[in-house]
Amino acid sequence: MSENTYNIIIVGGGIAGLTSAAYLSREGKKVLLIEKNKECGGLVNSFTRDGFHFDAGVRALIDAGIILPMLKDLGVQLEVVKSPVSLGIENEILHIENLGSLSKYRELLIKFFPESEEEIDEVLKNIRKIMKHMDVLYGIENPVFKDLKRDRDFIFKILLPWLPKFIFTIRKINRMNMPVEEYLKIFVKNPSLRDMISQHFFKNTPAFFALSYFSLYLDYFYPKGGVGKLSEALKNKIIECGGEIKTDTKIIEVMVEKCLVKDQKNITFKYDQLIWAADLKTFYKIADTECLSLKIRTKFEDVKNKMLKNRGGDSVFSLFLEVDEPLESFRKIAHGHFFYTPSKLGLGETHKEELNYLLTNFEKVEKEQILTWLDKFTRLNTYEISIPGLKDPELVPPGKTGIIISFLAEYDLFNKIQKSGWLDEFISELENRVLSVISDSVFPMLKDRIIVRFSFTPLSIENRVGSSEGAITGWSFQKSMPVINKIQIADRSVLTPVPSIFQAGQWAYSPAGVPMSILTGKLAADRVLKQMKKFRKT
């Protein structure tokens, strides 16, 4: 094979691409992983500034029967600690310690909504039911990461007894696929109560997915040294197995017929098989399929149209703070992973109808109107607050604390404001408001203790990982999805209309996140290996 020719090229060094590359290089294949940024990891990434370590993407991990089995299967060591969660509304904070915390959650909600006790009980009944389903769903190590040819104990003692329960559970789950907002309306009349339960989820999140979070809160863990250590561990595995990684290399064209990918310097790399583990809209836009058979081209165009018609899901705004205050001051208030809502009123239509109005009438709307909306949005929102030092004290300089405050944010708003030329001003106004809301409520010590602050917007996410509409977990929840969204047929999610090209990651299956990105990364690697075996035989 010549220098630039590989058995498999993987485009996208996020967690999905890293997984595919680790598995394929372990099999001794000639593998090239191509990543556009200086470092791999994509949205599973940590960085250091002034001695403070921050997580740029996901703040903590949920195993989901996938991450730890994958690491075990690959023989990758990763030191992890628990990442306990706190939930807070106004001045009440609940630390989620175990299943019993659900009763405390009930008490917390009743304290704020005493007139809705029956409705709260109904919600809790549903959450308990879902927790049981979750125990089944994530109850065993995902078989995709087990050696099913050799591990007979796993097949007979674990997998086979589990399968009927799994099928039963999937049927139940499929009945809870409607958007959580709609689902809650069935038995919760008070819109503020509905907001307290669900406003920190993506728009139209399937009810099962959203309400399962109480169970997932108990599962969060954190790699020592930051979330990015997971990506680093996989990167090291790829190198150890002889795989090649090219960073700072952006693929700008896929010449499907010639099996070539071209980077920003016009250098081409040849593959036998390609795994696209990055934004799928980008792939369909830059793939040249001109010389393919009519049948494949037609199918390709069909899928492309579906992809381009759909939108990426919600994005986030993250405010990073370097604070001259010891970790202890924050530890007294909440755990290092904290969902906090400063007002029990809830967002109502603020982030829906009211924002839609501003966006549709953007040309006519005054800056002041947007800032007034921003006042309300920041006062009523729910914040995901992460304090890496509370999970691993080595992540901050002594006596100081690093904090990340984030919340769901609409890409179109930032995009329009950037086009009108006042993005920096808007970001500063937004940061000021978030800081004033948080320091007037849960963390008063923030008032005069901030050394440095900076933030990432949905536009930063789009720029950094090339994700359409700055999405952080792939497609938005719409009626029709351009990708597979049923777990029973997840193995098909990695197929594209071109037999030598596979897809993986958050765009290949929906709903996605770290575990599904890893799963599809492994499924794509399995398909590639199967195909290679088939070619060898023929």
> Which residues of the chain form contacts with ligand FAD (CB under 6 A)?
11-17, 34-37, 42-44, 57-59, 62, 250-251, 277-279, 282, 316, 318, 406, 465-467, 472-473, 505-506, 512-515, 517
Least gap, CB of 466 to ligand FAD (angstroms): 3
Least gap, CB of 270 to ligand FAD (angstroms): 16
Least gap, CB of 362 to ligand FAD (angstroms): 26
Q: What distance in Å separates the CA atoms of residue 443 and residue 446, rounded to the nearest whole number?
A: 6
Q: In terms of CB distance, is 501 or 514 closer to ligand FAD?
A: 514
Task: Give the contacts of 299 (CB within 8 A, at least 6 positions apart).
Answer: 497
Task: Give the contacts of 149 (CB within 8 A, at least 6 positions apart).
Answer: none
Least gap, CB of 162 to ligand FAD (angstroms): 23
DSSP state at residue 375 = H
Q: What distance in Å separates the CA atoms of residue 334 and residue 336, rounded to the nearest whole number?
A: 7
CB neighbours of residue 2 within 10 Å: 6
Q: In terms of CB distance, is 133 or 188 closer to ligand FAD?
A: 133
Q: In terms of CB distance, is 13 or 119 closer to ligand FAD?
A: 13
Residue whose CB is nearest to ligand FAD in the complex, by number: 14
Cβ proximity of 205 and 474 under 8 Å = no
Dmax (CA) of the chain: 73
DSSP assignment of 459-500 equals: HHHHHHH--GGG-SSSB---SS-SSB--GGGGGGGGB-SSTT
DSSP state at residue 146 = S
| Helix, strand or coil, per DSSP, at residue 48 | strand
Q: In terms of CB distance, is 116 or 506 closer to ligand FAD?
A: 506
> What tokens appear for 271 in the block?
């593959």
Q: What distance in Å separates the CA atoms of residue 51 and residue 181, rounded to the nearest whole number?
A: 41
Least gap, CB of 13 to ligand FAD (angstroms): 5
- Indicate the burial class of 70 (C-beta count within 10 angstroms; 0-12, 13-18, 19 or more): buried
Helix axes 423-439, 411-419, angle to 10 degrees: 130
Which phi and psi angles does 479 have, rounded to 5°? -60, -45
Q: In terms of CB distance, is 37 or 190 closer to ligand FAD?
A: 37
Least gap, CB of 520 to ligand FAD (angstroms): 8
Q: What distance in Å separates the CA atoms of residue 415 and residue 13, rounded to the nearest whole number?
A: 26
> What tokens appear for 58 in the block?
């996901």
Give, for 321, the enclosing helix (H) or strand (E): strand 315-323
Least gap, CB of 505 to ligand FAD (angstroms): 3
Peptide bond into 511 cis (omega under 30): yes
Least gap, CB of 222 to ligand FAD (angstroms): 11
Q: In terms of CB distance, is 17 or 342 closer to ligand FAD?
A: 17
Least gap, CB of 44 to ligand FAD (angstroms): 5
Q: In terms of CB distance, is 190 or 460 closer to ligand FAD?
A: 460
Which phi and psi angles does 38 have, rounded to 5°? -65, -30
Query: Which amino acid is present at 499?
Result: P
CB neighbours of residue 488 within 10 Å: 11
Least gap, CB of 316 to ligand FAD (angstroms): 5
- CA–CA distances in Å: residue 448 to residues 325, 440, 445, 451, 453: 10, 12, 7, 9, 12
Give, for 514, the enclosing helix (H) or strand (E): helix 514-537
Least gap, CB of 386 to ligand FAD (angstroms): 9
**Where would I find the H helices in 411-457?**
411-419, 423-439
Q: In terms of CB distance, is 5 or 37 closer to ligand FAD?
A: 37
Least gap, CB of 285 to ligand FAD (angstroms): 10
Q: In terms of CB distance, is 11 or 211 closer to ligand FAD?
A: 11
| 251-255/287-288 β-pairing | parallel
Q: In terms of CB distance, is 192 or 406 closer to ligand FAD?
A: 406
Which phi and psi angles does 523 have, rounded to 5°? -60, -40
Q: In terms of CB distance, is 205 or 517 closer to ligand FAD?
A: 517
For CA atoms 497, 502, 506, 509, the dihedral sign is positive
Q: In terms of CB distance, is 188 or 518 closer to ligand FAD?
A: 518
Q: In terms of CB distance, is 70 or 514 closer to ligand FAD?
A: 514
Least gap, CB of 18 to ligand FAD (angstroms): 7
